[in-house]
Amino acid sequence: MPLSLLFYFAALIAVGSAILVVLNRNAVYSAIFLVLCFFSLAMIYLLLEAYFLAVLEIFIYAGAIMVLFLFVVMLLNLGREKALPHFMKFQRALSLMLVILFFFGVSLIMVVGSGELHQPTIKFSSGSVYALGEALFTKFLLPFEVASLLLLVALIGTVYLAKRKI
């Protein structure tokens, strides 16, 4: 199936760019690779029939959040991260090992655990903007409103923290 091949292709790009985000010393490059990662995730959302979320992923993450990151990185004029002192190397190796262990442990659990999750549903009706909008304004109205209030107050707090004048 060509479509499933597309999924694996996007997955490969996502994982590759995610690794580059984490390993890159230069924060600007990290941000650019993060955008790439978000775009491939948006593609995967499309393949999983979450159309509205695919658009949102690009709008919010690639559009708003990444611009914010790049803006701050350039505002603060950050150069390359300094190399770490020697004794830290051990700590880094340890964290890498722990994370790999975590990954394999959890993937084992998930694959073994989701024994009954096999048969894929055939018909899918929930991906449309209509369905999402309806749920958002009926069943999930309260979280939606609380989130809007939070955004307002977070905006005020952010302006307060970032402006120079007291």
Please report, as residue ranges, which positions from 116 to 145 form the binding site for another protein (by CB under 8 A).
116-118, 120-121, 123-127, 131-132, 134-136, 138-144
CA distance 155 to 39: 26
Looking at residues 26 to 45 of the shown chain, list those that interact with another protein (rule: CB under 8 A). 27, 30-31, 34, 37-38, 41, 44-45
Q: How far is the CB of 164 from another protein (least distance, A)?
A: 7
Q: By CB under 8 A, name the one of 7, 13, 36, 55 that touches another protein.
A: 7
- 139 with 126: CB under 8 angstroms? no
Rounded to 5 degrees, what are φ and ψ at 163?
A: -80, 155
Report the residue number, 86 or 116, with the smaller CB distance to another protein: 116
What tokens does 118 get?
């096999």
Cβ within 8 Å of residue 124, ≥6 positions away: 49
| Site membership for another protein, residue 87 (CB under 8 A) | no
